[in-house]
Amino acid sequence: MTASKNTMAPASAGLAAPQLVTVDADSANRRLDNFLLSLLKGLPRTRIYRMIRTGEVRVNKGRSKPAYRVAEGDVVRIPPVHGLREGDEHKISQRRAGWIAEHILYEDSCLLVLDKPSGLAVHGGSGINLGVIELLRAARPDNRYMELVHRLDRATSGCLLVAKKRSSLRRLHEAFREGQVRKIYHALLQGKWTGGKREVAEPLVTEHRQGGERHVRIGAGGKPAVTRFYPEKIFNDAVLVRVELLTGRTHQIRVHSASIGHPIAGDERYGNGQSPSGLKRLFLHASELSFKHPDDGRPMIFESPLEPGLGHVLDKLGN
């Protein structure tokens, strides 16, 4: 079989035989799992991972990992796939599609910035039927290309960047890698805070536990990670901090804050799960995102205020 460009048979028909897809310039540097998800729309993410793990998916005739970034000219073997459902996003009710559209902070032909609510996953899969991407595709049916530029945990709220073109995704990924994107969070940390700002520079190791759950810990040989904490409001047994990420590792803020004895309020994984009165979620919010527009280079700055529920928690602590 000869290699083809980045094209696939209609999803509704499924794939009756293996296909070879050559990665083009627009798809270069994407993670393998995301590359496959964009080709095999409607296929559960868990199935994509299983295909990679078992070696059904091959890159240049060899096994690969989900995090591998495909390069222009790579030849990806995709096994026979049945049961793909093209257009599943159209089954999403107009009410739900309209609801996610109300959370869009900014949109143009290249990108979209969403004020993501807490409790909403960025994508479906692993027992989650719908995520940000599925809802956005339903809200914007004429724009078939929607890809996450970065991620937020399901429990984290705030600014989330989505690309609407492959060329925009490539340029924005490059900006993230080169440290040209400024990310500011706000978090409520537990415990008595003394002194001023703190910087934590500890490498992070990601472990995949049974069931595919990711757990992160500090460890030698991990990826470099730097987090800065700036106290803004100090309470008796908690502190509201502004957090600046100098790197973007999985669960970075949660692990680094816990490592200095100040876990995020409501964090059941890395903290003690205790919460101030009235807090029903993880108190972590992506409050600011700034970068240069991938098309014309103009400065883009977006802010998301704390949702009222988090504000009420701070008011109670202040009283």
Residues with catalytic roles: 153
CA atoms of 190 and 10, how far apart (whole Å): 52
Residues with Cβ within 8 Å of residue 167, at least 6 apart in sequence: 26, 294
CA atoms of 311 and 290, how far apart (whole Å): 23
What sign results for the dihedral spanned by CA atoms 8, 14, 16, 18? positive
CA atoms of 288 and 218, how far apart (whole Å): 26
Strands 238-245 and 182-190, sheet pairing = antiparallel
Nearest CA among 113, 133, 1 for reference residue 58? 1
Strands 75-78 and 58-59, sheet pairing = antiparallel
Q: Is 204 left (phi over 0), alpha (psi -120 to 50) or beta?
A: beta
DSSP 24-57: -TTTTT-BHHHHHHHHSTTS-HHHHHHHHHTTSS
Distance of CA 173 to the CA centre of its chain: 12
